[in-house]
Amino acid sequence: MKKSVDLSRLIAHARVETPPRVDVADDVLSLLAVRRPAVSYHPLMWIASLSSAAAACAAVISFVIMRASQSNALSNMYEVISWAAQ
Amino acid sequence: MTILYVDSAALNAWRQDAVPGILRRLGAAVAAASSGRTRAATVPVADLRQIEQTLNGDSEAYKRLIERHQQHVANILWKFTRDPRTHEELVQDVFVEAFLSLRTYKGKAPLSHWLATIATRVGYAFWKDTYDRRRMEPFSLADWDELLDPDGEPNPDPSDAARFMYELLAQLNPRDRLVLTLRYLEECDIDETARRTGWSKAMVKVQSLRARHRLKKLFEKAGRELEL
């Protein structure tokens, strides 16, 4: 025959146990006061934006100049070479 | 335990964006609680006022809140660990998490209920993180014969009884352990267990049944019959 165990009796006693006292208020506030080293991305974002804008302007200007000079590019080259040869 | 970093810039931004709305809501709750008009009357006005002050950046107010509720949280978490150091760390984790999600507290239920839910979540996460069947502490019912003998000591030491229950339930997986801890040691009903675990009521019932079944099997293996 199996021995019977009345767990509810033990549970009732376990419930009245007094847990240890804690005092965590100061520790919690210290934890919350810990600041992650502030890495501000704002200056980097500004630099990146300005660089992109400058690059875009340079690209547009280069394209316009290239289109304008494309038609007589060869004659310009002959002129430069002949001038240099003289 | 968890190392938390609070970004002051983000915190300030959050205060500017979210806090006015929360404060309006809490202000209404304080007024209702003061006049005893609504359900919010069950929420202590001191709690609401200190939450309001905390959200306005008053750390002393949060300290007072912690001091008022820390023992309640500690009592809950003592069922999740018997190691005093870990216990204290878990209590800290609860209040850090509570601070970070204070904006979600609506003031409809007492703060202690809200903290109990966070404490349960923190304790359960701790069990899941540390649960390893292979490294489980050896446990034998025979070691507890004196305590288990119905004709033995009629008034066993509560600490012994609690340690036995802790070690016994540690033989189960975290889910079973959680539901039995809440239902029997915390005396939570189905509704309360569902609220604390975030499970549905049906899930709580099914899980309780399964957990009890596994516990009975544990006793059967040791040649005992469990009455619960």
A2/B225 touch (CB, cutoff 8 Å), yes or no: yes
List, in order, residues 6 or more apart from B74 with CB less than 8 Å away.
A19, A20, A21, A22, B87, B91
| pLDDT for residue A71 is more than 70 | no
Task: Please give, rounded to a whole number of angstroms, the shortest distance from the CA of B35 to a CA of chain A.
Answer: 31
**What integer is the mean pLDDT of B100-119?**
92
Reported as a single tens digit per residue, the pLDDT across B45-94 is: 889 999 999 999 999 999 999 999 999 999 999 999 999 999 999 999 99
Q: Which residues of A touch B9 (CB under 8 A)?
A: 38, 40
| pLDDT for residue B95 is more than 70 | yes
How big is the A-B interface in CB pairs under 8 Å? 128
Q: Which residues of A touch B87 (CB under 8 A)?
A: 19-20, 22
Task: Please give, rounded to a whole number of angstroms, the shortest distance from the CA of A19 to a CA of chain B.
Answer: 6
Per-residue pLDDT band at A61 (split at 50, 70, 90) = confident
| For testing contact with chain A, the best of B159, B171, B180, B188 (most A CBs within 10 A) | B159
Q: What pLDDT shows up at residue A64?
A: 82
More confident residue, B78 or A77: B78
A6/B150 touch (CB, cutoff 8 Å), yes or no: yes
Per-residue pLDDT band at B152 (split at 50, 70, 90) = low
Task: Please give, rounded to a whole number of angstroms, the shortest distance from the CA of A69 to a CA of chain B.
Answer: 53
Q: How does DSSP assign B142-195, residue by residue?
A: GGGHHHH-TTS-SS--HHHHHHHHHHHHTTS-HHHHHHHIIIIIS---HHHHHH
What pTM value is reported for the model?
0.72
B227/A6 touch (CB, cutoff 8 Å), yes or no: yes
| pLDDT for residue A74 is more than 80 | no
Q: What pLDDT shows up at residue B3?
A: 42
Query: What proportion of chain B, given as a percentage, has pLDDT over 70?
Result: 78
**What integer is the mean pLDDT of B117-144?**
86
Per-residue pLDDT band at A14 (split at 50, 70, 90) = very high
Q: What pLDDT shows up at residue B108?
A: 84
Per-residue pLDDT band at B149 (split at 50, 70, 90) = confident
B155/A24 touch (CB, cutoff 8 Å), yes or no: no
Other Cβ atoms closer than 10 A to B46: 15
Q: What pLDDT shows up at residue B226?
A: 83
| pLDDT for residue B147 is more than 80 | no
Task: Please give, rounded to a whole number of angstroms, the shortest distance from the CA of A70 to a CA of chain B.
Answer: 54
Q: Which residues of B touch A36 (CB under 8 A)?
A: 5-7
| pLDDT for residue B150 is more than 50 | yes
Whether the complex's predicted ipTM surpasses the cut of 0.85: no
| pLDDT for residue A7 is more than 60 | yes
| For testing contact with chain A, the best of B11, B140, B143, B148 (most A CBs within 10 A) | B148
More confident residue, B225 or B158: B158
| pLDDT for residue B205 is more than 80 | yes
The size of chain B, in residues, is 228
More confident residue, B141 or B121: B121
Look over chain B and give the mean of its residue pLDDT values, rounded to a whole number. 84
Residue A42: burial class (beta carbons within 10 Å; 0-12, 13-18, 19+): exposed
Q: What pLDDT shows up at residue B5?
A: 44
Tokens at residue A36, please?
């992650």
> Would you say B130 and A63 are in contact if contact means Cβ atoms under 8 Å apart?
no
